[in-house]
Chain A
Amino acid sequence: MKNKLLWKLCWIVGVGAVLLFWIVDRVVQQTEQYMSFIALEHQQQLKAYGQEAEAILNSQGQAALASWLLSLQEREQTWAGVVTTSIKPLAKGRLPKQFVKGFLLGRSIEWKIHLYFKENPIMDIPFSDGYTHFLIRLPQRMRPGIYLPYVHLLLQIGLPFILLCFLSLVLYRHFMAPLQKLKKATQQFSNGNFDVRVKAALGRRDDELTTLAHTFDEMAERTGALILTQRQLLADLSHEVRTPLARIDMAVDCIEHNIHPEKALSRLRYEAATMRELVEDVLTLAWLNNEKPCLNKEDFDLVELISVICEDASFEYPERILRTELPEQAILQHSSQRALGQALENIIRNALRHTDNLGQVVISLTKQASLIVIDVKDHGPGVPVGLLNDIFRPFFQVDKSRLNHSEGSGVYEGKKRGGFGLGLALAQRQIAAVGGYIYARNHYQENADSPAGLHMIIELPQKA
């Protein structure tokens, strides 16, 4: 599912907030209702006043009641009185039942008080006869809900605040747990631990944050590999440079001591050229590796390119047979003649180098629907199956002796050297830069166990 985190958030925040409002509303309502009743002891007190008034009226008469009322009003700082009512229906009306037995002029003490009215209500405690009433304005001290504003404050602000804080905590922990792990991993990675990965540590969780973790893992994988490759490249490079440097030093000594100075000079020239090529190749390799350029500015005829390269190559290896099986034309669009040219040159040279004298190298080109496929087959020792991918690694050499097996060690000038094992690494990246793909396999003769040679297959995309 896409946007999992969004759905999760919607669910938690949406449902949580609705629930919160509902709870707060319910609690406020309940509390308000509960707080609207006059406290029981006050009810008792009011009832007692009523009974007292009735008793005084019955036993001592109105004068005594008047003075009692006065003192009561004084005491409770309110108004009180005793009244009597009689209801007479007019126009031949009849009284409903509730008015026959008597009715209330004020409010019953068991009723709720309207807390929103400023004035206190008048309470009505009827005498036993049913039509005499003891009326008293509710004394301020008995008014319920004095704390209502505070309770309101607490319920409508305090409660949601606490609940929302709790919700935030839950959300925070939900989001921060993977982020903390990611942070720790990033720190470890920057400290040089390139093996650190995050995704596995997040368990079965699956959302945007695990996607982030996955992206981090991919980055760690690539960057780690890149750093290790660069390190290896640097180590290999400095190693490769040592030998020609030593030979240069030797050649200088030879000149100083006048031992075959001409030979030493040509040696110097050769070694410098070798090192120059090495540096150039490494720089190109680093460029292709780091910037992953996309080379697609040229259209050209691949057959022509291969022919030109083959012409040069057969000049360099006159004793090998270079056979080509090419169509009339194979126009390749949006590619790079320079990148592809260098790649093909390296591959063809490699094939020629590993083929014995009078051996054959076959180059063929076939056009398919959306691909142009170039096959380069040599007749050499082939490559052990397990190493078929490794030959595209920089500085990789299957067997150092193999590379020199057909090359006279004394002959340098005018002949390409054994190479540093950069040719195929470069070729692979150059072919990738024009959108193509290269792989290698051995080819066998019928009924033979050992390979007849190496077979390079280059696939180039061709837009119809």
Chain B
Amino acid sequence: MKPAHIVIIEDDVTLNDQLADLLRKRGFTIDQCHDGQQGLLTALNKHVDLVLLDRLLPALDGLSVLNRLRKVCETPVMMLTACGAEEERIAGYSQGADDYLPKPFNFTEMQLRIDALLRRSRGREDNSVQQHNLQIDGLSLCRRQQQVIYDNQTVALTPIQFRLLWVLVENRSEIISKPYLSQVVLKRAFSRYDRSLDMHLSRVRKKLIDAGMAAERFVTVHGKGYRFA
């Protein structure tokens, strides 16, 4: 697969270079822009997989860049915001970004979220090859009917709970990060104090345990994410 192409639109030269270096090292193709106008042109003209967009920019403000970009294409945008509370304001503005990362952030967290965004957008593209059924040790999931059967009993799940279980079972034995789950399951940006993912998981787990599944199959890896064993 071709390495993902990322545009960094960030006016702080040092931070921009640091991000570019770290992301190149991870194998991404990087374009660096230092103002909104130039950034918007780059994001529109090239084939871009992801845009990292600063909120405050010279020439053209981050929100305006997002707004104009959204009129033309659906390229995933991760907004780098200065304040956590700003998220809500941005959300109310236009269609919003795909993810928000409050400054300051660390690279590990950013990496997790970038992976989540890229997997989500690429997943959207190759929908055709997706499976319709998953089966593991007496647990079977049917995507078309949104049906879950464990040990010959039907387990009733909401669509969100079904998606959550599907992603975990599909990536069995792999630790799935919360930012990724938030993107794929809740279809929204992850936030540190957002507990809805944990609450959904706890409900799914409870229902499956009630149906007779071993509690150990759902592993919480603290600080990292969840795993279905």
Chain A contact residues, CB within 8 Å of chain B: 269, 272-273, 275-276, 279-280, 283-284, 287, 291, 293, 300-301, 304-305, 307-309, 311-312, 315-316, 337-338, 341-342, 345, 414
CB–CB B195/A308 < 8 A: yes
- In the docked arrangement, what's the CA distance between A309 and B194, Å? 11
Interchain CB contact under 8 A, B84 and A284: yes
CB pair A338–B106 under 8 Å, yes or no, is no
**In the complex the two chains form, what is the Cα distance from A342 to B196 in whole Å?**
12
Cα distance, A345 to B194, chains bound together (Å) = 11
The A contact surface, by secondary structure, is helix
Contact check: which of A276, A304, A316 meets B202 at CB < 8 Å? A304
Instruction: Tell me whether B85 and A284 are in contact (CB under 8 A).
Output: yes
B203 contacts A by Cβ under 8 Å = yes
B104 and A276 form a contact (CB under 8 A): yes
How close is B24's CB to chain A, nearest CB, in angstroms?
21
What are 26 of the A-B contact pairs (CB < 8 Å)? A272-B104, A272-B106, A273-B106, A275-B104, A276-B105, A279-B104, A284-B85, A287-B83, A287-B84, A291-B85, A301-B199, A304-B199, A304-B203, A305-B199, A308-B195, A311-B202, A312-B222, A315-B222, A316-B222, A337-B195, A337-B196, A337-B199, A341-B193, A341-B194, A341-B195, A345-B193
Measured CA separation A276–B195 after assembly (Å): 20
CB neighbours (8 Å) of A287 from chain B are 83-85
Residues of B within 8 A of A309 (CB): 195
Q: Please tell me the size bucket of the interface on B.
A: 10 to 19
Contact present for B106 and A300 (CB under 8 Å)? no
Q: Give B76-104 interface residues, CB cut-off 8 Å to A.
A: 83-85, 102, 104
* B191 contacts chain A at the CB level, 8 A cutoff: yes
Select one of B102, B104, B105, B193 contacting A342, CB under 8 A.
B193
CA distance A279 to B222 in the complex (A): 23
B200, closest chain A residue (CB): A304
Chain A CB within 8 A of B198 CB:
yes
Partner of B195, one of A283, A316, A338: A338
Which residue of B is nearest A275, CB measured? B104
Indicate whether B121 reaches chain A with its CB closer than 8 angstroms: no
> Which of chain B's residues 177-225 have a Cβ closer than 8 Å to chain A?
191, 193-196, 198-199, 202-203, 220, 222-223
Taking CB atoms, residues of chain B closer than 8 Å to A279 are: 104
Return the chain A residue nearest B220 by Cβ: A311
User: Given the complex, which residues of B lie within 8 Å of A307, measured CB to CB?
Assistant: 202
A284: chain B residues within 8 A (beta carbon): 84-85
* Contacts A273-B106, A345-B193; A283 near B83 (Cβ below 8 A): yes
Q: Are A308 and B84 in contact (CB under 8 A)?
A: no
The chain B residue sitting closest to A316, CB to CB, is B222
* A367 nearest CB across to chain B (Å): 19
Q: Report B115 CB to chain A, min CB distance, Å.
A: 20
Query: Whole-angstrom distance between the alpha carbons of A284 and B82 in the complex?
Result: 11
